Structure 1
Amino acid sequence: MTLAHDVYSETNPAYGVFLLATFIDAYTVTKGHGPDLPTAYLALPIALSGDLAGSFEGTNKRTGLAMWLQRRPEIQVGLADRINRTLDVVTEAIRFGAFSGAIAVAKDGRMVMGPTKPKTSAAKGLGEEPAQALKRAERLGYWFADAGSTRIVFDSLGLTV
């Protein structure tokens, strides 16, 4: 059996909203407030990246961003380029999330859950790779929150705004 890689499904704004909602929820549980908007432009491409999936093996929500990067420094190679190539995908997911009411951007620039949360039962119908991307988004939510600040997250990843 030949498996096809469906790029369209990964760039589907509705799927992006589901990933962002998972990221925001984990971050909020840890920090008590939502993440700054720019972190979405980091979390979504990393969570979606199939070639980085293996770097999450042996990690959990307590591993932390610094430990993950220490174990797998190769993550930073080409990361800025990867993020720049996905700016439109992330922007479309944020827009769709805002228009659908699933997520919102507060006045202080933080992402929060909107009044229409995505149904968690929808995750049961996902294939293995999309379900793993959700787990990665959740893990990144915990790790980014534990890192301390958005600046620390960017600095840790070797990125500048």
Structure 2
Amino acid sequence: MKSWGNRPGEISHLLNPAFCGEIIRRTLIAYQQKSETNLEFPLIYLVLPITLHRETRERIELSSRNKMHVWLQANQDIRIGFSERAKQLVPITNEAIQFLLNQRALEIGVEGDLRVTPYRRKKIEGYSSGEIQDIMKKAEKVGKWFSSAGTTSTIFTMWGVRP
């Protein structure tokens, strides 16, 4: 991973650890609320490639009650290039996880599961509308999908990737 000074401006602004960490945190909260368990660590690496990819995100309908596997059947072309996107976002996901751990907003359990901890988050303007809000809402939908989609290996198989 390049140092912050050597990254293109768009990358350092759009994929900063605080923003990506908030996406991950929202996914984890929705998962925990729906399943009453904690997310298994490997699944965290699917969150950013799903929610940050515009075409994928735009096809996720918040009002739909479809399960993830049904949605993927109807949108099979979404999986084209997904494994490469996921691979490219591993370092960004790692930075976001480190940020959340440093802020004490995330804990890794003994079983390797992830849980959100209560922490004081400053209110930031701009999260209430537009593309950022859409990303956050879709991240919550992904958390709900993951909670009812089966095992980690099943979810990875649905997306056509391996942990």
Bucket of the pairwise TM-score, normalised by the shorter protein: 0.7 to 0.9
C-alpha displacement of 1:104: 1.4
- Closer, same or farther in 2 for the Cα pair 1:60/1:7, shift >3 Å? farther
Match of 1:128 among 130, 133, 141: 130
- Closer, same or farther in 2 for the Cα pair 1:117/1:153, shift >3 Å? farther
Q: Look up the match of 2:155.
A: 153
- Closer, same or farther in 2 for the Cα pair 1:96/1:61, shift >3 Å? farther
Letter in 1 for 2:53: S
Which secondary structure state, in structure 1, belongs to the residue aligned with residue 63 of structure 2? coil
Matched, 1:108 2:124: no
Gaps of 5+ in 1: none
Q: CA RMSD in A?
A: 1.9
Q: Look up the match of 1:20.
A: 24
Instruction: Point out 4+ residue stretches in structure 1 off by more than 6 angstroms.
Output: none
TM value normalised by structure 2? 0.86
C-alpha displacement of 1:35: 0.7
Matched, 1:43 2:47: yes
**Deviations 1:77-122 (CA, angstroms, capped at 9, x unpaired):** 0111000011110000000000101111111111101241545x43
Q: Look up the match of 2:144.
A: 142
Matched, 1:86 2:92: no
Match of 1:32 among 28, 31, 36: 36
C-alpha displacement of 1:155: 1.0
Which secondary structure state, in structure 2, belongs to the residue aligned with residue 125 of structure 1? coil
Which secondary structure state, in structure 1, belongs to the residue aligned with residue 107 of structure 2? strand
Which secondary structure state, in structure 2, belongs to the residue aligned with residue 147 of structure 1? coil
Aligned length: 154
Higher share of residues assigned helix: 1
- Closer, same or farther in 2 for the Cα pair 1:31/1:19, shift >3 Å? same
Letter in 2 for 1:135: K
- Partner Cα distance (2:65, 2:58) in 1: 17
User: Is the CA contact 1:62–1:143 (under 8 Å) kept in the aligned structure 2?
Assistant: no
